[in-house]
Amino acid sequence: MKHRTLFAQRVRKLRKAAKLSLENAAERGNITGNFWGDVERGNKVPSLDTIVAMAKGLALPPSTLLLLEREEDPRDIRKRIDSLLTKSNRSNLKWFTALSRFSSNPESPDRLLDPSDAGA
Same domain, 10 and 57: yes
Domain that holds residue 49: 3-65
CB neighbour list of residue 114: distance below 8 Å, 6 or more residues apart: 94, 97, 98
Amino acid identity of residue 91, one-letter, is S
Q: Above 90 in pLDDT, residue 87?
A: no
Rounded to whole angstroms, how far apart are CA atoms 53 and 74? 33
Same domain, 18 and 46: yes
Dihedral of the alpha carbons of 82, 83, 84, 86, in degrees to the nearest 10: 80
Amino acid identity of residue 119, one-letter, is G
Q: What is the pLDDT of residues 48-74, one digit of tens each?
A: 999 999 999 999 999 999 887 765 666
Domain count, the chain: 2
Last residue of a domain, one of 43, 65, 87: 65
Report DSSP letters for 57-72, one per residue.
HHTS-HHHHT--PPP-
Helix/strand/coil (H, E, C) string of 64-104? HHCCCCCCCCHHHHHHHHHHHHHHCCHHHHHHHHHHHHHHH
pLDDT of 86: 74
Per-residue pLDDT averaged across 89-94, rounded? Answer: 65
Q: Above 60 in pLDDT, residue 115?
A: no
Same domain, 11 and 57: yes
Same domain, 57 and 89: no
Predicted model pTM: 0.58
